[in-house]
Amino acid sequence: MAAKHVRNGSSAPTPSKRVSMPKANPRSKYTGKATPQLSTVRVGDLQQRPPARRNSKSWVARFLVFLLAVGLLVMGAVYVYSSDLLSIDEVRVSGVDHLTSEEMSQLAAVPASATLLRVDTEAIEERLKTNSWVEDAQVKRVFPHTLELNITERGIAAVVEVTSVEAQAIETWAMSKDGMWLMLIPSEGSEESEGLSTKIYEDAKQVLHITEVPLDVHPEAGTPCTDTSVLNALAIVSGFTTNLADQVKVVSATDTANTILTLENGIQIAFGTADDIRDKERVCLKLMEEYPDQISYINVRVVDKPTWRAVGSW
């Protein structure tokens, strides 16, 4: 009897298992070779290449060349500084009217061995400023062989007649507009006047003359005037804004309250102190305009109460 296969109704057929096989790389349709797989790499994972090493020998060579160049420059500078290649062959002066070239040469006192590199320009400037005529000085090097002295000179604003206590005589002193005593002016043609600039005497004849100053006025060249009567007289004429200033030839400065101006036409003005200068000036000009050739004396010490006197009346 044939055997029968009996199926168990409760049992289910066993499913077949799938087995994963490695995939073959696709072949390039051009080369027939397998295309390599690409992998993703982060930028931070990349290692930086080490810098190229410098050639130490080349660096040392360049440094030695640099040292040699510096050394040559230093040696050249030392040679030029110590040599006479930039000797001072000319001293040029500008801005001077009342000082002669001989006086300027003595003041500057440029050493004979000095060159433009070795000369002490600041020391020369200080020596020049010790002279009362020199208000300012600038010394400049003009290569290759010239030293230039640029001078700002004081001018004569007034000539003051001072009584000399020792000689009991009248001395004539030049004064600048800033109240500096410039010099004692010797008599023209005297032995003391030899070598002085003629410009001093030309200016002295043209400027204001201050007379009858107090006996205790003792000028010294290069020092400021401290006498109030002299400074008051200078301030009056310096404060004029019209041609009246040019008409004043003499100022009597016995004291500030009694300052008297004498004009070139002979009119005397009792001006007093240097207060209300422009108002006093205006009153004087108005009176002289209203009474031409009639006035010999004007009193404006009190500007709002002026008085005047006619020619020939005293």
Q: Name the pLDDT band for 262 (thresholds 50, 70, 90).
A: very high
pLDDT confidence of residue 3: 40
Task: Region of 287 please: left (phi>0), alpha (psi -120 to 50) or beta.
Answer: alpha
Phi, psi of 156 (to 5 degrees): -85, 120
Cβ contact 171:184 at 8 Å: yes
- Asked, as a colleague might, if the bond just before 22 is cis with ω within 30 of 0, I would say no
Residue-wise DSSP of 217-230: ----TTSB---HHH
Structure confidence by residue, pLDDT tens digits, 123-144: 999 999 999 999 999 999 999 9
How long a stretch of residues is the chain? Answer: 314
Structure confidence by residue, pLDDT tens digits, 220-236: 999 999 999 999 999 99
Q: Name the pLDDT band for 61 (thresholds 50, 70, 90).
A: confident
Q: Name the pLDDT band for 16 (thresholds 50, 70, 90).
A: very low
Cβ contact 259:233 at 8 Å: yes
Return the SS3 of 297. Answer: strand
**Mean per-residue pLDDT for 201-212?**
95
Indicate whether 14 pLDDT > 60: no
All structural domains of the chain, each given as residue ranges with its CATH number in brackets, are 90-153 (3.10.20.310), 158-310 (3.40.50)
Which amino acid is present at 20? Answer: S
